[in-house]
């Protein structure tokens, strides 16, 4: 079993749709959680950190469920420019050495 | 823009040849990392550095070595490249410590093909 698992997709959604991704993690001692976005053939870029209380940044909402060991990313009112691969990242300590990346979920927003 | 540049951006080489990838940063950050990214896998840590001449192994360090003689440069060397090292290599820095260490900033990547 992978430490961090994501549905690879692809998720194909129409513009304006709401789409949600889940990411499960196996290490119950995990302490830090992040979502990254990666455009095709580009570097990953931090989208948002995920806090215990959940957090929102514009159309993006991230949630953490420690009991079930998953994090989620909700995108509302999808734009064409949201098309990318979304990477889930989980850390078990304050060291980047302990970061585990999921293999990503591919999203395509269709006109 | 985190001021990270990688070189070369693309390289094709033959099995058994040495290859060095360079990561250069302009912001004087202490922590630097080398990752590789392959289809079906998340990014995997190869080596990291927490200061000049201070480096340590990551998850997939076999076949790779690193050096950091200056704060701004972190070099990744494949002493004798193999086809299994065909990958996209990303350098990263972290601006923070503690639990925010996961807020990484990546270079644009170096695409390496070993024939």
Q: How far is CA A10 from the centre of its chain?
A: 14
Sign of CA dihedral A88, A92, A94, A97: negative
Q: How far is B50 from chain A (nearest CA, A)?
A: 10
Split at pLDDT 50, 70, 90, the class of B97 is: low
Report the residue from B33, B99, B103 with minimal CB separation from A46: B103
Report the residue from A44, A45, A97 with minimal CB separation from B48: A97
Mean pLDDT, chain A, whole residue set: 92
Residue listed under structure tokens 């990270």? B4
User: What pLDDT shows up at residue A23?
Assistant: 95
CA count, 13 A, side-chain hemisphere, A4: 28
Minimal Cα distance from A99: which residue of B? B102
Question: How does strand B64-70 pair with strand B73-78?
Answer: antiparallel
Split at pLDDT 50, 70, 90, the class of A94 is: low
Please give the angle made by the CA atoms of A59, A23 and A69, to the nearest 5 degrees.
115
User: What pLDDT shows up at residue B61?
Assistant: 96
Interchain CB contact of B94 with A (< 8 Å): yes
CA count, 13 A, side-chain hemisphere, A10: 10
Q: Which helix (H) or strand (E) holds B4?
A: strand B4-7
**Neighbouring residues of B62: CB distance < 8 A, sequence distance ≥ 6:** none
Q: State the best of B31, B32, B43 to mutate against chain A, taking most chain A CBs within 10 Å.
A: B43
What tokens appear for A63 in the block? 């949630």
Q: What is the largest CA-CA distance in chain B?
A: 41
Check CB contact under 8 Å for A101 and B40: no
CA nearest to B4, candidates B98, B79, B109: B109
Mean pLDDT, chain B, whole residue set: 93
Minimal Cα distance from A104: which residue of B? B42
Residue listed under structure tokens 């194909």? A12
What residues 27-66 of chain B have any CB closer than 8 A to a CB of chain A?
Answer: 31, 33, 40-45, 48, 56, 58
Q: State the best of A97, A100, A104, A105 to mutate against chain B, taking most chain B CBs within 10 Å.
A: A97
Taking only the tens place, the pLDDT of each residue in B11-44 is 999 999 999 999 999 988 989 999 999 988 889 9
Question: Which residues of chain A neighbour B41 with C-beta distances below 8 Å?
Answer: 103
Mean pLDDT of B3-12: 96
């Amino acid at each position: 079993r992978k430490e961090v698992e994501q549905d690879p997709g692809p998720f194909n959604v129409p513009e304006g749709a709401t789409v949600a991704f889940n990411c499960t993690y196996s290490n119950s001692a995990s302490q830090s959680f992040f979502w990254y976005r990666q455009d095709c053939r580009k570097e990953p870029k931090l989208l948002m950190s995920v806090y215990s209380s959940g957090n929102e940044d514009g159309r993006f909402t991230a949630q953490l469920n420690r009991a079930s060991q998953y994090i989620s990313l909700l995108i509302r009112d999808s734009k064409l420019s949201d098309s990318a691969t979304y990477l889930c990242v989980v850390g078990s300590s304050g060291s980047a050495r302990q970061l585990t990346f999921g293999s990503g979920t591919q999203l395509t927003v269709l006109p | 823009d985190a001021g990270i540049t990688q070189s070369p951006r693309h390289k094709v080489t033959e099995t058994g040849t040495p290859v060095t990838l360079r990561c250069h940063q302009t912001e004087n950050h202490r922590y630097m990392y080398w990752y590789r990214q392959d289809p079906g896998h998340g990014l995997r840590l190869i080596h990291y550095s927490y200061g000049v001449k201070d480096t340590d192994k990551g998850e997939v360090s076999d076949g790779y070595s690193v050096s950091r003689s200056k704060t701004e440069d972190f070099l990744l060397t494949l002493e004798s490249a193999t086809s299994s090292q065909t990958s996209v290599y990303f350098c990263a820095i972290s601006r923070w410590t503690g639990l925010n260490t996961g807020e990484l900033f990546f270079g644009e990547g170096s695409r390496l093909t070993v024939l």
